[in-house]
Amino acid sequence: MIYITRKEHFNAAHKLFNPAWDEARNAEIFGKCANKNWHGHNYDLYVTVKGKINPDTGFVVNLKDLSEIIKRDVIELLDHKNLNVDVPNMPLMPSTENVAIFIWNILAPKIQSMGATLHGIKLYETANNYVEYFGEH
Amino acid sequence: MIYITRKEHFNAAHKLFNPAWDEARNAEIFGKCANKNWHGHNYDLYVTVKGKINPDTGFVVNLKDLSEIIKRDVIELLDHKNLNVDVPNMPLMPSTENVAIFIWNILAPKIQSMGATLHGIKLYETANNYVEYFGEH
Amino acid sequence: MIYITRKEHFNAAHKLFNPAWDEARNAEIFGKCANKNWHGHNYDLYVTVKGKINPDTGFVVNLKDLSEIIKRDVIELLDHKNLNVDVPNMPLMPSTENVAIFIWNILAPKIQSMGATLHGIKLYETANNYVEYFGEH
Amino acid sequence: MIYITRKEHFNAAHKLFNPAWDEARNAEIFGKCANKNWHGHNYDLYVTVKGKINPDTGFVVNLKDLSEIIKRDVIELLDHKNLNVDVPNMPLMPSTENVAIFIWNILAPKIQSMGATLHGIKLYETANNYVEYFGEH
Amino acid sequence: MIYITRKEHFNAAHKLFNPAWDEARNAEIFGKCANKNWHGHNYDLYVTVKGKINPDTGFVVNLKDLSEIIKRDVIELLDHKNLNVDVPNMPLMPSTENVAIFIWNILAPKIQSMGATLHGIKLYETANNYVEYFGEH
Amino acid sequence: MIYITRKEHFNAAHKLFNPAWDEARNAEIFGKCANKNWHGHNYDLYVTVKGKINPDTGFVVNLKDLSEIIKRDVIELLDHKNLNVDVPNMPLMPSTENVAIFIWNILAPKIQSMGATLHGIKLYETANNYVEYFGEH
């Protein structure tokens, strides 16, 4: 069992604003992240896959294929988008936590069908904050 | 003459869309950057100041003071904002080039009044792109 | 269950010198780290917290709060300090290992009281060395 | 139980080419990595060791010793080498996966004899790809 | 006048070996870089262009176009290649210095035809070494 | 004319405290940097040398030689030292500015004697602050 990670990135706008709350409550909880005209980030995405090595290739998965799947099914959907507005089925609060799980849910079955297992999603929102999700409940 | 640089950062939304053009022309020139619902970036800002060393301190400028001025006069204005909408006097096209010059114009007189000279602004929009401005015409 | 990490940093002086040993033995084991007049480092600290997502916020913990606690209870204590001299209750040998556990012991109860669980402390002493502690005995 | 990691690096040439396949099949699977005249990488190697802290030193292992072992037994063997040609006992396919396991097999017994346990090997082939191996079967 | 930089990268094999010298002299001057079976690097390439801002776009040059030219005319030629063997017109010694000038000579006329000026080439061979060339004689 | 840069690093303790001032004045100007028991940093040092390329080697200077000179004449002097106490001829205030000039004064004649010219010293005190010195008066 060995683990391989591919890094991709996307740039997106979002805001954190709970419509069930008034503006004062949103400002108190989310601070500047609640700015109604949005702000944005360069997101760095690390996708970690685990499995056995194929002796013909030396690979768990072919990184060309893994990179193509991430780009086609995740980056295309999120890059240069507004996470609150442009992305079907995104949770109401596009926090880093929720975006990481959203990406997990897209990629886990795709990687299963490559003969490997999605191990983890690591998503940097800024150089100082990141979230990791391993499919645990 | 010696040069000292302070790094700060801000996160903002923007889009590149020229209202004098139709959508097709905007898409052709700006690609995904023209997304009408915005996208965003983590901007890294490097402010370089030059001057003589004060023998009492060993400093060109006190970095505490330089950092405070950048935060108060630039970061406060741009961080967690929409560069097209929320920032008075921002040029119509908030390209990295125009944002760098916008920041130069704010900081140059402030740094003059600290007894030093603004040498350059270096602004990263992503890890792969940055602009430098040295006040040249 | 999801994991979120916040990075903070501090700059400190220290030395590694065991007073039960003579200078030759200290030099043999600790090399240049035993310099009696101290040396120092820029420490990068990663604090990883785990928990359930609060559906109202999309957060495991509010990073503003987490950052404030780390700054108030850890950074304030260690930043621009001499780890051997200025920090009450620091172990005799302020190795990266011992500093990481020292930080864990401060933060674990604070994060418990935020309704989440401290998962790990990752402490870089230099770009080439880091320690991780997960509260294991 | 605490974990300490040392980073080292080496620069090497390699290619990915399965001699059991024809050129077209190699090109299809390995793309540019199959270039018959080789290409190369700056490899970043992270070696993570776990154990108990020695109270006399504050160390799991002395990083000076760990660094020397990695340099003598791994870096000397791989640095400025052709991984396909110059390295005895390297698997036929010097993929990042296989190189990581190759390094694990060298270091695990050496670290055992230092009184600690090798926990993991993390090997970056480029800034966008890395492999982790924890000795799992 | 403003400066914009685009980062690209390529991975290549090379060796430094002067055929006018014997092996001992090559080993003395080039050390491990003279290994006859090659070694390799991840090269990071920064291309800096200067010019006036086009008020319709806010751009000196369109980074999409700049990135495409670099990829088509430089990366395609060097990526996953052996710099000594696979690259027509490469100087006999593919040192970082000579590769940087080789890239400058390709890009300078292309960027001229985009209406801007090539200002500099910065080429990292490793994280610890880089060369800069500004077209000076 | 081409420029080549070598990165080295050292870890040191220092404080900024002007003995001509009282404690209150020192605290006001230097803040936490005045802590009487020292603090410290991981310094990253970039040494940039310029010259003509030697056609026999493809080099401005041999980086092996440049690295050895920097290590022998600068790193040996500053690494794991207290800049205020352990370093002969260091200015009274070991600010990043003064340390950069101190290093320039050591290296400029050595590099002259290698047949090249010292172009610049870039010294990072932290990831957010650096000084550059080009020998200008």
Instruction: Inform me whether the C-beta atom of residue A16 falls under 8 Å from chain B C-beta atoms.
Output: no
CA–CA min distance C62, chain D (Å): 28
Give strand pairing partners of E87: none
What's the CA gap between F44 and F11, in Å, rounded? 9
Which residue from E minimizes the CA distance to D12?
Answer: E39
Residues of D in contact with A57 (CB under 8 A): 16, 18, 29-30, 93, 95
Instruction: Write out the catalytic residue numbers of B.
Output: 33, 80, 125
* pLDDT tens for each residue of B54-79: 999 999 999 999 999 999 999 999 99
Is residue F17 predicted with pLDDT exceeding 90? yes
* pLDDT tens for each residue of E51-89: 999 999 999 999 999 999 999 999 999 999 999 999 999
Instruction: Write out the catalytic residue numbers of E.
Output: 33, 80, 125
Q: What is the pLDDT of residue B103?
A: 98
The secondary structure element, H or E, covering residue A2 is strand A2-14
State the number of CA atoms in the 13 A half-sphere of C103 facing the CB.
38
> What mean pLDDT do residues C99-119 have?
98
Q: What is the pLDDT of residue A137?
A: 82
Does residue F68 have an active-site annotation? no
Does F59 sit within 8 Å of E97, measured CB to CB?
yes
Strand B39-51 with B117-126, pairing: antiparallel
Close Cβ partners of D85 (under 8 Å, ≥ 6 residues apart): E37
Is residue E137 predicted with pLDDT exceeding 90? no
Counting as contact any 3 or more CB pairs under 8 A, the partners of B are A, E, F
Q: Number of C to F CB contacts under 8 A, please give it.
A: 78
Q: Which position has the token pair 């593919």?
A: E94
Single-letter code of the amino acid located at F37: N
Strand E39-51 with E2-14, pairing: antiparallel
Single-letter code of the amino acid located at B129: N
For A28-67, give one letter per residue: b (16+ CB within 10 A) or e. Answer: ebbebbbbeebbbbbbbbbbbbbbebbeebbbbbebeebb
Residues of A in contact with B75 (CB under 8 A): none
How many CB atoms sit inside 10 A of residue C132's CB?
19
Q: What is the pLDDT of residue B89?
A: 97
Does A31 sit within 8 Å of C58, measured CB to CB?
no
Cβ atoms of F12 and C42 within 8 Å: the answer is no
Predicted confidence band of residue B137 (pLDDT cuts 50, 70, 90): confident
Cβ atoms of C16 and C33 within 8 Å: the answer is yes
Residues of B in contact with E1 (CB under 8 A): 134, 136-137
Does E57 sit within 8 Å of B128, measured CB to CB?
no
Predicted confidence band of residue C137 (pLDDT cuts 50, 70, 90): confident
> Residues 62 to 121 of B: which have CB under 8 A from any F CB?
62-64
Instruction: Write out the catalytic residue numbers of C.
Output: 33, 80, 125
- The complex's ipTM works out to 0.96
Backbone angles phi, psi at B116, to 5 degrees: -130, -175
Is residue E29 predicted with pLDDT exceeding 90? yes
Q: What is the pLDDT of residue B7?
A: 98
Residues of A in contact with B76 (CB under 8 A): none
Residues of F in contact with C33 (CB under 8 A): 80
Is residue D137 predicted with pLDDT exceeding 90? no
Locate the domains of chain F by residue range. 2-133
Taking the alpha carbons at both ends of chain D, their separation in whole angstroms is 23
Counting as contact any 3 or more CB pairs under 8 A, the partners of C are A, D, F
Cβ atoms of A8 and A47 within 8 Å: the answer is yes
The single-letter DSSP state of residue F42 is E
Percent above pLDDT 70 for chain F: 100
What's the CA gap between F49 and F21, in Å, rounded? 39
Q: What is the pLDDT of residue E36?
A: 96
pLDDT mean across residues, chain C = 97
Q: Is B14 helix (H, G, I), strand (E, B) or coil?
A: strand
CA–CA min distance D14, chain E (Å): 8
What's the CA gap between F74 and F93, in Å, rounded? 18
Does A80 sit within 8 Å of B39, measured CB to CB?
yes
Backbone angles phi, psi at A43, to 5 degrees: -90, 130
Strand B2-14 with A129-133, pairing: unpaired
What's the CA gap between F59 and F50, in Å, rounded? 11
Rg (CA), chain A: 17
* pLDDT tens for each residue of A37-82: 999 999 999 999 999 999 999 999 999 999 999 999 999 999 999 9
Residues of A in contact with D19 (CB under 8 A): none
Does C35 sit within 8 Å of F86, measured CB to CB?
yes
Q: What is the pLDDT of residue B71?
A: 98
Which residue from D minimizes the CA distance to E15?
Answer: D80
Instruction: Inform me whether the C-beta atom of residue D27 falls under 8 Å from chain E C-beta atoms.
Output: no
Cβ atoms of D37 and E78 within 8 Å: the answer is no
* pLDDT tens for each residue of D92-115: 999 999 999 999 999 999 999 999
CA distances from C62 to C6, C54, C59, C73 (A): 11, 10, 6, 17
Chains E and A touch (3+ CB pairs under 8 A): no
* pLDDT tens for each residue of D46-96: 999 999 999 999 999 999 999 999 999 999 999 999 999 999 999 999 999
Which residue from E minimizes the CA distance to B19?
Answer: E56
> What mean pLDDT do residues F42-67 have?
98
Residues of C in contact with F129 (CB under 8 A): none
What's the CA gap between F67 and F26, in Å, rounded? 37
Is residue F137 predicted with pLDDT exceeding 90? no
Could you tell me the pTM of the whole model? 0.97
Burial of F105 (0-12, 13-18, 19+ CB in 10 A): middle
Which residue of E6, E8, E57 is in closest CB contact with B95? E57
Please identify, in words, the CATH class of the domain defined by D2-133: alpha beta
Backbone angles phi, psi at E123, to 5 degrees: -125, 115
